[in-house]
């Protein structure tokens, strides 16, 4: 006598191995962003090899502002991790609080960057001064646009979290925010530290 298995018994379903579409989507998006920032960083490094005067140009960057902004972004990475943890535990109130702190830290970063730009413009350190400053404004400006985009995304995710809805979106916003932080970890030493 042969045993016939039902089709359901042959299908192995393990929900932990299914990758949600939102996670695929954010990684595909970040893949294109990695190409953009990666290309800029490679071009910057190759150009720097041929411009020894860039060290003196880079010495005019405000290292203390760059350092503070690095601390601010690293702290915001922690708060977004905590928000994800709280969302995972279905504690929407705490998740929303940590997302709010992340938004405030992103705004603080932006405020320091605007202060830095105003200082540099007042000192005549414009993109027309040298290729270094063209790269500087392009890379830090593009990064700041991504910070602002992250702030807006987290703001809307937080609104849903406050209503107890879409807690899974905290993870997606967090992945994006970590990407923004990682980009800064590359920009900070290249534009600030190596010249001081």
Q: Is 39 among the domain residues?
A: yes
The residue among 188, 29, 6 whose CA lies nearest residue 109 is: 188
Q: Is 2 among the domain residues?
A: no
Tokens standing for 33? 């962003």
Mapped onto helix, strand or coil, the DSSP state of residue 153 is helix
Residue spans of the chain under pLDDT 50: 1-14
- What distance separates the 2 farthest-apart alpha carbons in the chain? 90
Q: Is 125 among the domain residues?
A: yes
How far is residue 92 CA from its own chain's centroid? 23
pLDDT for 65: 96
Q: Is 58 among the domain residues?
A: yes
Q: Is 15 among the domain residues?
A: no
CATH number (domain holding residue 127): 1.20.120.80
Domain ranges, residue 162:
21-195
DSSP label at residue 127: T
Mapped onto helix, strand or coil, the DSSP state of residue 15 is helix
Measured distance CA(127)–CA(150) in Å, rounded: 26
Query: What is this structure's pTM?
Result: 0.85
Q: Is 4 among the domain residues?
A: no
Radius of gyration of the chain (CA): 22
Q: How many domains does the chain have?
A: 1
Q: Is 144 among the domain residues?
A: yes
- At a CB cut-off of 8 Å and minimum separation 6, what does 134 contact? 127, 128
pLDDT for 29: 81
Q: Is 3 among the domain residues?
A: no
Measured distance CA(131)–CA(129) in Å, rounded: 7
pLDDT for 167: 84
């Amino acid at each position: 006598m042969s045993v016939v298995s039902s089709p359901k018994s042959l299908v192995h379903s393990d929900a932990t191995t299914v990758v949600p579409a939102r996670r695929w989507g954010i990684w595909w998006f970040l893949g294109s962003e990695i190409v953009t920032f990666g290309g800029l960083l490679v071009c910057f490094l190759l150009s720097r090899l041929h411009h020894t005067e860039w060290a003196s140009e880079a010495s005019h960057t405000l290292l203390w502002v760059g350092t503070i902004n690095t601390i601010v972004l690293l702290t915001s990475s922690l708060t977004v991790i905590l928000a994800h943890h709280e969302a995972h535990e279905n504690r929407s109130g705490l998740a929303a609080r940590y997302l709010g702190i992340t938004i405030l830290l992103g705004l603080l970063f932006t405020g320091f960057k605007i202060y830095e730009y105003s200082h540099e413009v007042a000192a005549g350190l414009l993109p027309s001064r040298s290729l270094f400053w063209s790269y500087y404004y392009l890379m830090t400006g593009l990064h700041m646009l991504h910070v602002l985009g992250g702030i807006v995304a987290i703001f809307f995710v937080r609104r849903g979290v406050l209503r107890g809805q879409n807690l899974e979106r905290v993870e997606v916003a967090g992945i994006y925010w970590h990407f923004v932080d990682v980009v800064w970890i590359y920009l900070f030493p290249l534009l600030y530290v190596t010249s001081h």
